[in-house]
Structure 1
Amino acid sequence: MSVKVIDLFCGAGGLSAGFLYENELNFEGILAIDNNQHAVDTYNANFPGNHCIAVNIEEWLSEQTSIPAADIVIGGPPCQGFSLLNKKREGDARRALWEPYMDIVVRSGAKMFIMENVPGLLKSEEFQDIKKRARSEGFLLQYDVLNTADYGVPQTRKRAIVIGYNSKFFDVSALPEFPPKPTHSSNPGSDSDLKKWKDVRSVISDLKDPEGTEIRSVASPYNLHFGRNPTPTSLLRYKAVPIGGNRFDLMKNAPEITPKCWLNKPSGGTDLFGRLWWDRPSVTIRTEFFKPEKGRYLHPEQHRPITHREAARIMTFPDAFKFEGSKIEIAKQIGNAVPVEFAKAIAKFASNALSGI
């Protein structure tokens, strides 16, 4: 029998891809929910059953007399409310969206749930409430912050993973060892069976120069390897940043074209207007990776930001994965996703846990 999966706040389906895309683990998606229609279109373009719906989860839940029975509920309630990048975290309504998530976990009769979020979740007051609610519903918890680079992703993206085990099915003394065993390391020893972290070169160096500036063409309706039209000043700025460099190199090499706000701020983060390294994993891919002023998103050699295709590869989406929507909408889907290779590691862990009951 298949293992039935519900994915909440699913986005484009990065987490689902680990469970369903190649389906080697016999998972079956029966319901997925997101409030972004473009993300839902992407999800349904890649997974069978057309089971993803675009709804406000709280409104939808209030109207349901029954929830489909599921073995496992997965997903990440929107993380901006917990993110350190959000300077107005207090009172952010998105912080409370774990509540309908837990409602569906309980009403579906799930044996297990997996919640993915930013590391800040585990230090939040809301997490204390999540733990209290989960335990009151009979769930045993494991949680930790994991680095996706340790699981074959060419990106040092740290994520909180919370796993809940329904005590009706799991014995607290026999829970699987958590976290999942890493497959990669930044510096594996000579006697280690771990592989070295994957680097940027391994996933994007084979791509030719970007073609055009449009996302679709007659020849390639899902082309994501397109460029931009930088201004002459932007191009000069790109050229002033060496491999591994950042805005401080721009300030040093070309102060006359450096934005005044940066000249007036001689200290701060070292990723802004940064160039990636070939031989290291990428930094975290966020939703505006096509804007170098937002982070370390310049190509390692070429004088341009990385393309949507390059970002998708760094997120370990296969090239055959179809994204729907505008350039900006697709960038949001890529940046908000769970890297697929990391999701596969989580799916394998869940499969082993469920097979033991």
Structure 2
Amino acid sequence: MRGDGFTMLDLFAGCGGMTRGFLDQGLFTSVGAVEIDLAAAATYAANIDADGRHTFAGDIADYSDVPEVDLVIGGPPCQGFSALGRRDPSDVRNQLWREFVRVVRESRARMFVFENVDRFAKTPEFQLLRQTADEGGELSDFRTQVFRLNAADFGTPQKRIRTIIVGSRVGPVADPVATHAKTPVEGRAPWVGLKEAFLEGPVVLEPEVQRNWLPESYIDFQGHEIPGAFKLRDLHVTHDYSLTSQIRYAHIAPGQSRIHLPEELRYPCWERHTRGAGDVLGRLKWDEPAVTMRTEFFRPEKGRFLHPQWENGGVQINRALTHAEAAVVQGFDDRHLWCGTKAEIARQIGNAVPPPLARAVGDVVAARLSA
């Protein structure tokens, strides 16, 4: 504990979404972060660690100078567990939780928060992680609680369900308190739709975008030249879509997808594959949260990522979400800076923990640490 607050270490920190949420809670101070992706580590440092001194940009297996902290947070890469991946049990990424356990032990933390995809709760690794808190396990002095949380229930304009494991040596935490609901619930606001998020929020993102490149700007991060640091509005950039693609997109109304295209506009490969993701080439709706952001949200062929504006006789927006829109969907605001190429920043956004969701978890963790 430092002063009136608590020290925190973020593993697999990415662009800092989880740390951002805990810092917004008000009682936490970040004293360390580990992230192997150089551009993501630069983004984290630009927002959380201005001089870059406590950001370890490298493999967690090489992280040895572990500070003593009150709390360890983190979410190991989820691709090994995701329904979109191969779900290969031998995927090395499935074993990174063991490094998380090692650092928790070496940090002498009083609590930890482990985040991953919803599917993680159904894997053998989930059971093994929880078993570390059993008698004789590496974290036997911890007791764990598991929460299944939807980011939309905490004010994020996105339906993103995550498994959160809270481990504690100082007693149990209360359930995170949802602030929003899909259907009317007393004391809770409606889910935040995209119109509210893009056009009525603190940062208005006009649907029509004029450019498809990032500004020419670079920073030095630990001896490396990295593009950035970019503000949210700098990320409001589109892609150079072909005329054929734009014609396809123009035929897809909000809530529709590839299956609604006329036969002459369908991809030949679709004729051989009648099953598969129903949201591919899908258009979002203004009055609903977005679907889960993925790392290739800028490709409409990868999911339901077409901009929600589509009007008969009006202005159609025939493109995927911009990087700025995807960041807002993840719950980031204009305080957050971004480093990297367009592809690297897209990966950071798609992999991020929504800060509003992290803050809700931070509230119950802070209450327990303060007790």
Whether TM-score is above 0.5 comes out as yes
The whole-number CA distance in structure 2 between the counterparts of 1:67 and 1:269 is: 43
The whole-number CA distance in structure 2 between the counterparts of 1:25 and 1:59 is: 31
Matched ranges for 1:50-65 at <5 A: 50=52, 51-60=54-63, 64=64
Q: 1:238 aligns with which of 249, 252, 272?
A: 249
Specify the code of the residue in structure 1 equivalent to 2:213.
E
2:17 and 2:352 in contact (8 A); partners too: yes
| Map of 2:224 onto structure 1 | none
Q: Please state how far the C-alpha of 1:48 moved relative to its aligned partner.
A: 3.4
| Map of 2:119 onto structure 1 | 120
Within the alignment, does 1:177 sit opposite 2:171 as a pair?
no
* Deviation larger for 199-208 or 74-83: 199-208
Q: Secondary structure at the match of 2:147?
A: strand
Matched ranges for 1:255-334 at <5 A: 255-301=263-309, 302-334=317-349
The whole-number CA distance in structure 2 between the counterparts of 1:227 and 1:77 is: 30
Q: Secondary structure at the match of 1:129?
A: helix
Q: Secondary structure at the match of 1:134?
A: coil
| Count of residues in correspondence between the two structures | 337
The whole-number CA distance in structure 2 between the counterparts of 1:159 and 1:88 is: 17
| Map of 1:194 onto structure 2 | 188
The whole-number CA distance in structure 1 between the counterparts of 2:210 and 2:216 is: 10
| Map of 2:98 onto structure 1 | 99
* Deviation larger for 282-291 or 192-201: 192-201
1:102 and 1:134 in contact (8 A); partners too: no
- Residue by residue over 1:82-116, the C-alpha shift from the partner in whole angstroms, topping out at 9 and shown as x without a partner, is 11211242210111101110111011110000000
| Map of 2:226 onto structure 1 | none
The whole-number CA distance in structure 2 between the counterparts of 1:176 and 1:73 is: 15
Structure 1 residues 79 and 221, CA, compared in 2 at 3 Å: closer, same or farther? closer
1:151 and 1:342 in contact (8 A); partners too: yes
Q: Secondary structure at the match of 1:342?
A: helix
Q: Secondary structure at the match of 1:273?
A: coil
Specify the code of the residue in structure 2 equivalent to 1:149.
A
| Map of 1:225 onto structure 2 | 236
- Residue by residue over 1:112-157, the C-alpha shift from the partner in whole angstroms, topping out at 9 and shown as x without a partner, is 0000001111111111111111332211010021111111111110
Matched ranges for 1:146-185 at <5 A: 146-166=149-169, 169-170=170-171, 175-178=172-175, 180-185=176-181
What is the aligned-residue RMSD (CA, Å)?
1.5
Q: Secondary structure at the match of 1:73?
A: strand
Q: Please state how far the C-alpha of 1:352 moved relative to its aligned partner.
A: 1.0
Where in structure 2 are there 5+ consecutive unaligned residues? Answer: 218-228, 310-316
Q: Secondary structure at the match of 1:143?
A: strand
The whole-number CA distance in structure 2 between the counterparts of 1:120 and 1:227 is: 32
| Map of 1:32 onto structure 2 | 33
Indicate the percent of aligned positions where both proteins have the same amino acid: 38
* Deviation larger for 193-202 or 255-264: 255-264
Specify the code of the residue in structure 2 equivalent to 1:185.
A
1:34 and 1:53 in contact (8 A); partners too: yes
2:40 and 2:348 in contact (8 A); partners too: yes
Q: Please state how far the C-alpha of 1:176 moved relative to its aligned partner.
A: 2.8
The whole-number CA distance in structure 1 between the counterparts of 2:110 and 2:347 is: 31
The whole-number CA distance in structure 2 between the counterparts of 1:246 and 1:139 is: 46
- Residue by residue over 1:298-330, the C-alpha shift from the partner in whole angstroms, topping out at 9 and shown as x without a partner, is 001111111000000001111231110000000
2:81 and 2:87 in contact (8 A); partners too: no
Q: Secondary structure at the match of 1:141?
A: strand
| Runs of 4+, deviation exceeding 4 Å | none
1:25 and 1:351 in contact (8 A); partners too: no
1:185 and 1:194 in contact (8 A); partners too: yes
The whole-number CA distance in structure 1 between the counterparts of 2:215 and 2:56 is: 25
Q: Secondary structure at the match of 2:235?
A: coil
Specify the code of the residue in structure 2 equivalent to 1:4.
T
Q: Please state how far the C-alpha of 1:177 moved relative to its aligned partner.
A: 2.3
The whole-number CA distance in structure 2 between the counterparts of 1:125 and 1:176 is: 25
| Map of 2:369 onto structure 1 | 354
| Map of 1:139 onto structure 2 | 142
The whole-number CA distance in structure 2 between the counterparts of 1:305 and 1:228 is: 8
